[in-house]
Structure 1
Amino acid sequence: MIRVALIDGPLAADHPALGARNLLRAGDAAGPEGTHAAAMAAALLAGCPGARIDNLVVFGGGLTTTAECVASALEAAEGAALVLCAFGMARADPGMAAAVARLLDAGALVVAAAPARGAPVYPAGFAGVVSVQGDARCGPGDWSRLDLPQARFGACPALAGHPGVGGASVAAAHFAGIVARRIGAGEDPAGVIAELARTAPHQGRERRGIAPAAPPG
């Protein structure tokens, strides 16, 4: 079993994969913040059904939070093998950066959502964080190696049964599930990322609207 820290909204108290819950904000499992967390957990568990989720709640009253709250959640995630941040903050907060650095130094992997366009977001923009954006080429168990300034990997941006949630958040959760399954099977975390980069079914950025080149002859 692998322990995954989900920094997001609140999961329901009776969620079958819930290990522990830390309410840094008083979120509502029936509100939009809870809907988002439930979708992220579903995408994660689709890739790694045996994951145990530590739910660190930073969203309350909607999908809003502060950098200070996220930094506290990152600090509380100590001991998790994998940390999922399926969101992005506009500011590179020093407290967040320091908490991420401590997790990475302890051997954890941090997977975070990154937008396909626009300015960098955090924690995805911090060095060492595995940044993921949506890639329409990818199915739920699929991934791509992008090596773009804003995102190293791409993954499926959609989730069956959750039509209102999608994009980079879902992609990061899907990718976290792919990573968690391999770590849970005993693979070295650093080696997992290198292997996923090497064996990605899709290499290079998605190029929408560009037809493949005709074969020679």
Structure 2
Amino acid sequence: MVGVIDSGGAVDDLAGGRLFLPDGTWVAARPDLLGHGTAVAGVIRRGVPGVQIVHAQVFQDRPVTTAIQVAGALDWLAGRKADVICLSLGLAADRAPLRRAALAAVAAGRIVVAAAPARGGPCYPAAYPGVIAATGDARCGWDGLSVLAGGVIGAWCGSPEQGGAGQGGASLAAARVAGHLAARIASGAGFADGAAARDALAGAARFHGPECRGCA
């Protein structure tokens, strides 16, 4: 099972999902108004047809969220023992609730993948220890991977060079990395923790070295 922390999913893809609110409470997930979570789920399913996806919604009509909401989503998906937790998002500030939840998920053996844009400062939770940071690399085809500075994993990101249009960049790269891992798990692979999962991806990487600037 892959947990997606984003803007939710399509009407027929919300079973069992939750919408996390700024006050720390939650309600049943609502349809995706931004299309972002739907796109993320689509990338994951393209790589792993039939995989179960559970949506933990932290955006509604705007791509704005809080550390409390994302922390609640992480806690919930970790408690559900999601094989992979995908966050195609990032917060600019290191907040205590988010740090606690991310490190707790990692300590519980959950594989957490988070978007790390190629430009700008640290992004959270991607910058936390044990979290697999993913960014777009236009050199990578659908099945390709790269290892960039700081151990960041580069992947297909729907860039124009790859024939993509519209949404792309680190968001879709995180989804693609989550899909790579989910496919391996579905095929019987096991990972002791996020570090082992990242090492497996790095071992399969075709490219090593300078970050490709084709994807933001």
**TM superposition score category, shorter chain reference:** 0.7 to 0.9
Q: Distance in 1 between matches of 2:105 and 2:72?
A: 12
Contact 1:19 1:53 in 2 (8 A): no
Report the equivalent of 1:24: 20
Report the equivalent of 2:142: 140
SS in 1 for 2:154: strand
SS in 2 for 1:112: strand
Report the equivalent of 2:66: 66
> Residue 172 of structure 2 aligns to which amino acid in structure 1?
V
* TM superposition shift of 1:162: 7.1
> Residue 23 of structure 1 aligns to which amino acid in structure 2?
L
Does 1:202 pair with 2:207? yes
SS in 2 for 1:14: helix
* TM superposition shift of 1:19: 5.1
* Residue number among 93, 108, 132 corresponding to 2:110 in the alignment: 108
Segments ≥4 residues shifted beyond 6 Å: 159-162
The alignment of Structure 1 onto Structure 2 pairs a total of residues equal to 201
Contact 1:145 1:153 in 2 (8 A): yes
Q: Distance in 1 between matches of 2:17 and 2:54?
A: 6
Question: Structure 1 residues 37, 84: closer, same or farther in 2, change over 3 A?
Answer: same
Contact 2:118 2:213 in 1 (8 A): no
Contact 1:46 1:174 in 2 (8 A): no
> Residue 7 of structure 1 aligns to which amino acid in structure 2?
I
* TM superposition shift of 1:29: 3.0
* TM superposition shift of 1:195: 2.1
Q: Distance in 2 between matches of 1:31 and 1:200?
A: 35
Q: Distance in 2 between matches of 1:201 and 1:20?
A: 37
User: TM-score normalised to the size of structure 1?
Assistant: 0.85
Q: Distance in 1 between matches of 2:61 and 2:213?
A: 36
Q: Provide, for residues 118-176 of structure 1, a one-character-per-residue CA deviation record: whole Å limited to 9, x for no partner.
A: 11010001111000111000112211111x23x61101110799732110000110111
Contact 1:7 1:83 in 2 (8 A): yes
Q: Provide, for residues 13-39 of structure 1, a one-character-per-residue CA deviation record: whole Å limited to 9, x for no partner.
A: 313xx552011148763522xx00111
Which moves more between the two structures, 188-197 or 66-75?
188-197
Q: Distance in 2 between matches of 1:171 and 1:164?
A: 14
User: TM-score normalised to the size of structure 2?
Assistant: 0.85
**What is the root-mean-square deviation in Å for CA atoms of aligned residues?**
2.2
Does 1:119 pair with 2:114? no
* Residue number among 187, 190, 197 corresponding to 2:189 in the alignment: 187
Which moves more between the two structures, 49-58 or 183-192?
183-192
Larger CA Rg, structure 1 vs 2: 1
Q: Which runs of 5+ in 2 are unaligned?
A: 22-26
Report the equivalent of 1:37: 37
Contact 1:137 1:206 in 2 (8 A): no
